């Protein structure tokens, strides 16, 4: 008797004796489950969560029968996928599939997804090679290894194969796809990764909203996470795309400060490449360099060694990256080492990085292995206690957390964790987080923790990235030169009809928070550059208006209450910041006048930054991408490539080309045969 038949017959027999959890039956079933590769992941997660329920094993067996997992895993084996036909095995109700959907190779279950219906026993099991679909949305067909698209009304769905040969996933690529909360939750269920919802801000009028206020962001995790997805051939969740982090991944040729402030401000305006009628404004900061006079550092390495870290791109890469950091430290620096899984353990008390200390840390790192569940909160508490015990007055005191972000055991209240790191940051101990791997990446939580912890969030996808973070950018990563840095831009309504900030979706502040020193903002490290872009609609360029024939709304011309000052300036930039150990902010400002420079006259940095921003808009399927497409991204990046001493801009071009080759064909190019 084959495995599937055994399980099928065993479950039927067991069902005849309701309530009888016979041990012999369970032993036989468990033995067969051990032979099923598609159940191994389910069983691993069951052990990890501490579940030993017999009902759990019954559920696992049911998953074998239907060839899918319910909840967090939506993977379907098979090298080829056939069209789902309309019969009673597909629709429990027996309703015929609409002829229009048959023609497109689509079937939309009337109430809930077929995966859910099968799992709940409302529909008969289906051959797993036939099941291709997204929960509660649509069924479709995909030829083996070939991305394709399908449409229902104005919605477009994209489907892609995963890089591993025995599973597929799909991604909703259309406008609004995963933009709503339900869509975001579905995406998390499919990938296992968690991203915070990003709501893109549209154009605003300076007559109604003259000020734009936001916190700086020097994190780079989004760009390296996107790079990991592209290189592995996986679709990208639009909520993983934080355009400001993509832009700020790259170095720019901004001059450093020459005065009393710890950074210099640079502004530039030129034509907008994706909308000829608009203007593009770039605002950049360059932090002062700190080299020989770097402050002593008290670092606590907090390392996740839970079972989910048992992957080459997680714990082994983490250890290698920390070894690189060790090489850049010296005898005035101190390192402690804490690991956590089901419980936390202090492997190394504060140790000076002299010859013997360096070897002690290195040896402890090399002995690490992964296993168990994840009690992240307990580990963080212990790490902060160690950092406090080794506190260096006037130095750098920082916890460096390395994890895939899977906080699933112990005190997991997000509000408690955020409160903890915020309180410690107020006590001059900051937090840097390094994210690793895929499948458990809690990107949303890690970003929020570093925002509250006055730190940085990096995603390490390679040893080369570890070298960039810990050797090339060491002082900027470790040493803060200004904290709570805020922007406030005022637009001149005499010159600007509308404006919008590109990116920084979760970094916006209330206008009144700009001068409120109790409101936290981002920090900037030594040598860091920070860039923000605004798309501006000049007065007279033509602004989209609400139609005048609406039944329930009528347009009215309302004169502004304030008199518009006659000024040639386009905008005024104000910044506030605090010294690293200060509580009172300092303000500086700089005005910008538009000299009508064309895009071709813009600097290399301006052109390259615009290409990165446009790619981010394409990844997010932004309605504001205008006439931008992947060809324009490449054109802009090539024109702004410049000298590129680190090769990062060249890599960007390679990455965009690779992403373009993986994209499903545009709807206009989809042949009906592609959907059969």
For residue 63, give the nearest of 93, 85, 32 by alpha carbon. 32
Cα 637 to Cα 282, 474, 633, 653, distances in angstroms: 16, 27, 6, 7
Q: Mention every residue, 6+ apart, whose C-beta is less than 8 A from residue 577.
A: 261, 262, 263, 482, 483, 484, 485, 486, 524, 585, 586
Overall average pLDDT of the 105-120 stretch: 37
Q: Is the pLDDT of residue 519 over 60?
A: yes
Q: How sure is the predictor about 221, in pLDDT bands with cuts at 50, 70 and 90?
A: very high
Domains annotated for the chain, with CATH where assigned, are 3-66 (no CATH), 99-174 (no CATH), 211-289+481-542+564-602 (2.60.40.1230), 297-478 (3.40.50.410)
CA 621 to chain CA mean position, Å? 15
Q: Which helix (H) or strand (E) holds 457?
A: strand 457-459
Q: How sure is the predictor about 241, in pLDDT bands with cuts at 50, 70 and 90?
A: very high
pLDDT, tens digit, 9 for 90 and up, residues 311-364 = 889 999 999 999 989 988 999 999 999 998 867 789 899 999 998 999 999 999
pLDDT, tens digit, 9 for 90 and up, residues 42-90 = 444 444 444 444 444 444 443 333 333 222 222 222 222 222 222 222 2
What DSSP character marks residue 675? G
Percent of the chain with pLDDT over 70: 64
Contact assessment for residue 497 and residue 543, using Cβ atoms and an 8 Å cutoff: yes
What phi and psi, each to the nearest 5 degrees, are found at residue 38? -75, -10
Q: Is the pLDDT of residue 616 over 90?
A: yes
Find the radius of gyration of the CA atoms of the chain: 27
Q: Is the pLDDT of residue 170 over 80?
A: no
What phi and psi, each to the nearest 5 degrees, are found at residue 443? -60, -40
Q: Is the pLDDT of residue 622 over 70?
A: yes
Q: Is the pLDDT of residue 270 over 90?
A: yes
| CA–CA gap between residue 115 and residue 131 (Å, rounded) | 8
Across 86-100, 189-203, 504-518, which has the greatest mean pLDDT? 504-518
Q: Is the pLDDT of residue 562 over 70?
A: yes
For residue 218, give the nearest of 458, 500, 481 by alpha carbon. 458
Q: Is the pLDDT of residue 103 over 70?
A: no
Contact assessment for residue 475 and residue 294, using Cβ atoms and an 8 Å cutoff: yes
Token duo for residue 275: 């909308």
Q: Is the pLDDT of residue 463 over 80?
A: yes
> Tokens 């067909």 identify what position?
141
Overall average pLDDT of the 16-45 stretch: 48
Contact assessment for residue 262 and residue 577, using Cβ atoms and an 8 Å cutoff: yes
What DSSP character marks residue 332? T
Q: Mention every residue, 6+ apart, whose C-beta is less than 8 A from residue 640.
A: 603, 604, 605, 606, 607, 608, 609, 610, 611, 649
Compute the half-sphere exposure of residue 184: CA atoms within 13 Å on the CB side of its CA.
Answer: 13
Q: Is the pLDDT of residue 379 over 60?
A: yes
Percent of the chain with pLDDT over 90: 45
| CA–CA gap between residue 105 and residue 94 (Å, rounded) | 18
Average pLDDT, the chain: 74
pLDDT, tens digit, 9 for 90 and up, residues 384-432 = 999 999 999 989 999 999 988 766 544 557 788 888 889 999 999 999 9
pLDDT the model gives residue 588: 95
Q: Is the pLDDT of residue 171 over 60?
A: no
Q: Is the pLDDT of residue 117 over 80?
A: no
Q: How sure is the predictor about 27, in pLDDT bands with cuts at 50, 70 and 90?
A: low
| CA–CA gap between residue 126 and residue 548 (Å, rounded) | 53
């Amino acid at each position: 008797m084959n495995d599937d038949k055994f399980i099928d017959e065993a479950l039927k027999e067991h069902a005849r004796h309701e309530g009888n959890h016979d041990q012999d039956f369970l032993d036989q079933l468990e033995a067969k489950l051990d032979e099923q590769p598609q159940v191994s992941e389910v069983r691993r997660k069951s052990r990890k969560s501490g579940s030993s329920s017999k009902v759990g094993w019954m559920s696992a067996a049911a998953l074998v029968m239907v060839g899918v997992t319910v909840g967090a895993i939506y993977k379907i084996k098979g090298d080829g996928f056939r069209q789902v036909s309309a019969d009673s095995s597909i629709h429990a109700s027996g309703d015929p599939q609409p002829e229009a959907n048959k023609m497109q190779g689509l079937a939309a279950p009337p109430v809930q997804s077929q995966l859910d219906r099968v799992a709940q026993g409302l529909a008969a099991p289906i051959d797993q090679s036939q099941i291709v679909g997204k929960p509660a949305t649509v069924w479709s067909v995909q030829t083996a290894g070939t991305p394709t698209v399908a449409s229902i009304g104005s919605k477009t769905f994209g489907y892609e194969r995963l890089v591993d040969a025995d599973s597929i996933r799909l991604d909703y690529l259309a406008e609004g796809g995963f933009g709503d909360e339900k869509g975001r939750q579905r995406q998390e269920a499919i990938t296992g990764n968690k991203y915070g919802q990003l709501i893109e801000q549209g154009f605003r009028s300076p007559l109604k909203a003259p000020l734009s206020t936001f916190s700086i962001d020097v994190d780079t995790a989004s760009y390296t996470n996107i790079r990991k997805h592209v290189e592995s051939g996986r679709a990208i969740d639009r909520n993983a795309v934080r355009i400001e982090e993509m832009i700020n991944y790259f170095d720019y040729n901004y001059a450093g400060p020459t005065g009393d402030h710890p950074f210099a401000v640079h502004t530039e305006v030129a034509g907008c490449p994706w909308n000829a009628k608009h203007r593009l404004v770039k605002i950049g900061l360059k932090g002062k360099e700190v080299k020989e006079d770097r402050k002593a550092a008290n670092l606590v390495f907090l390392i996740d060694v839970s079972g989910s870290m048992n992957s080459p791109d997680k714990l082994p890469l983490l250890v290698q990256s920390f070894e690189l950091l060790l090489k850049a430290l010296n005898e005035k620096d101190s390192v402690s080492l804490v690991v956590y899984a089901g419980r936390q353990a202090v492997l190394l008390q504060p140790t000076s990085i002299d010859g013997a200390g360096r070897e002690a840390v290195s040896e402890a790192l090399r002995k690490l292995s992964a296993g168990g569940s994840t009690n992240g909160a307990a580990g963080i508490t212990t790490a902060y206690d160690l950092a406090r015990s080794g506190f260096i007055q006037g130095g750098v005191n920082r916890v460096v957390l390395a994890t895939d972000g899977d906080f699933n055991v112990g005190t997991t209240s997000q509000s408690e964790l955020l409160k903890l790191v915020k309180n410690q940051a107020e006590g001059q101990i900051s937090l840097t987080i390094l994210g690793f791997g895929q499948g458990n990446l809690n990107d949303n939580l890690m970003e929020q923790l570093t925002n509250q912890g006055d730190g940085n969030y990096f995603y390490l996808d390679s040893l080369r990235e570890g070298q960039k973070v810990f050797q090339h950018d060491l002082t900027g990563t470790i040493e803060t030169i200004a904290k709570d840095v805020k922007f406030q831009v005022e637009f001149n309504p005499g010159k600007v009809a509308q404006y919008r900030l590109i990116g920084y979706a979760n970094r916006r502040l209330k206008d009144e928070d700009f001068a409120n020193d109790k409101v936290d903002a981002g920090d900037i490290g030594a040598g860091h550059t920070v860039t923000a872009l605004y798309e501006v609609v000049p007065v007279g360029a033509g602004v989209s208006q609400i139609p005048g024939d609406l039944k329930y709304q009528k347009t009215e011309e309302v004169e502004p209450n304030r008199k518009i000052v006659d000024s040639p300036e386009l905008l005024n930039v104000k910044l506030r910041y605090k010294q690293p150990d200060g509580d009172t902010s300092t303000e500086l400002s700089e005005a910008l006048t538009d000299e009508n420079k064309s895009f071709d006259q813009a600097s290399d940095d301006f052109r390259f930054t615009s290409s990165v921003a446009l790619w981010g808009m394409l990844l997010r399927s932004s309605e504001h991408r205008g006439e931008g497409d992947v060809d324009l991204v490449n054109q802009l990046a090539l024109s702004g490539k410049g000298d590129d001493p680190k090769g990062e801009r060249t890599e960007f071009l390679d990455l965009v080309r690779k992403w373009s080759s993986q994209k499903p064909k545009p709807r206009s190019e989809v042949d009906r045969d592609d959907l059969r």
